[in-house]
Copies of this chain bind each other. A is one copy, B any other.
Amino acid sequence: MADKAMRMARAGASRPRPVMVAIAGDSAAGKTTLTRGLVEALGPQRCASLCVDDYHRYDRVERRGLPFTALHPDCNHLDIMEQHLQLLATGQPVLKPVYDHATGLLTRPERVEPREFMIVEGLFPLHSRLARACFDVTVFLDPAEDVRRAWKLARDTASRGYSAAQVLAELQRREPDSAAYVRPQRRHADIVVRFAPIPVRDDPPGTPLSAELLLRPTIRHPDLSAVLAQAAPAEGLRTMHLKLARDTDGRPVDTLHVHGYVPTEESRTLQKIIWAQLDEPGEVPESLGLLGGSGARSEPLAITQLLLLHHVLEAGR
């Protein structure tokens, strides 16, 4: 019952312990983009992120001879990842391994000091009970598979030195491990985020993706009806709405639909209302909603990040 011991240790810890947030999901599910906006919004003094894909057991050359992909637990030091999560969750620094995605080599480890808020993203942060016991808020990114494939193709050909054919072959090779080990983490998340076009609508190409958030009652979510009540009724409802539903296992759950097709200004109005409730100084941070370095934005991403900020800040209070 190491997970229970960990929960007790955190509850009783005397040294300041960080708020720990997990952002899990498959390769190119948008973890880094979501994380970056949160870290910048909270500021590097208060918040740091780490990627647990650095706990790869083998480098790229060594993996070639192996019968499994990087998405298999045996391909990762998951027990060391758990150990480091426990240390960080109880306020201790770690010397984290480093995997260089550009070269495929394992390199000099880096020291990670716990901050007030720690965002842990990667393929496996929710893999085990013990790992999950280290977090205050857990998120699983579950974009529509077509969307994820397009994102992976774009990223891996642009910045990781692969050809399109290599990326597609790798997606196929990884599929069984993804189904067996990555996607099952979805059921352990407090919040599941799905970016996708809205199927029932016939929006023109180029319409921003919408976000559907599963808000499971495993944590206390903000009162969104109060937020919506502050906006003009039509505007609020166009931007997002909350719907009672059943989870895949039949449990009751709230689903929040954040629409990509609404005018930016309407979405921004709602963002300001949510931000005002967070009791943070200043305006809505510019980093929220940013997609990569190009300056392109996604308003549903910004709203998703604002809801996560609510949880992160609440957990720290």
Contact = CB atoms under 8 A, between A and B. Distances in A.
Contacts of A107: 107-108
Question: Which A-B residue pairs are the 9 nearest by beta carbons?
Answer: A106-B108, A80-B95, A109-B109, A97-B109, A95-B97, A77-B95, A107-B108, A83-B92, A79-B93
A50 interface: no
A6 interface: no
A201 interface: no
A251 interface: no
A16 to B, nearest CB: 16
A87 interface: yes
A111 interface: yes
Interface string A72-97: 00000101100100010000111101
B109 A93 contact: no
Chain A interface residue number, banded: 10 to 19
Nearest to A106: B108
Interface in A86-124: 87, 92-95, 97, 105-109, 111
Contacts of A92: 83
A111 B92 CA distance: 20
Given A83-B92, A87-B83, A77 B111 contact: yes
A80 B97 contact: no
A57 B79 CA distance: 24
A93 B80 contact: yes
Given A57-B111, A77-B111, 4 more contacts: A79-B93, A95-B109, A107-B107, A109-B109
A97 B96 CA distance: 9
A57 B95 CA distance: 10
A57 B93 CA distance: 14
17 contacts: A57-B111, A59-B108, A79-B93, A80-B93, A80-B94, A80-B95, A80-B111, A83-B92, A95-B95, A95-B97, A95-B109, A106-B108, A106-B109, A107-B107, A107-B108, A108-B108, A109-B109
Nearest to A95: B80
A62 to B, nearest CB: 11
Contacts of A95: 77, 80, 95, 97, 109
Interface in A32-74: 57, 59
A1 to B, nearest CB: 11
Contacts of A57: 111
A83 B80 CA distance: 13
Contacts of A97: 95, 108-109
A109 to B, nearest CB: 5
A107 B108 CA distance: 5
A257 to B, nearest CB: 43
A166 to B, nearest CB: 25
Nearest to A81: B95
Contacts of A108: 59, 97, 105-108
A106 B95 CA distance: 12
A174 to B, nearest CB: 24
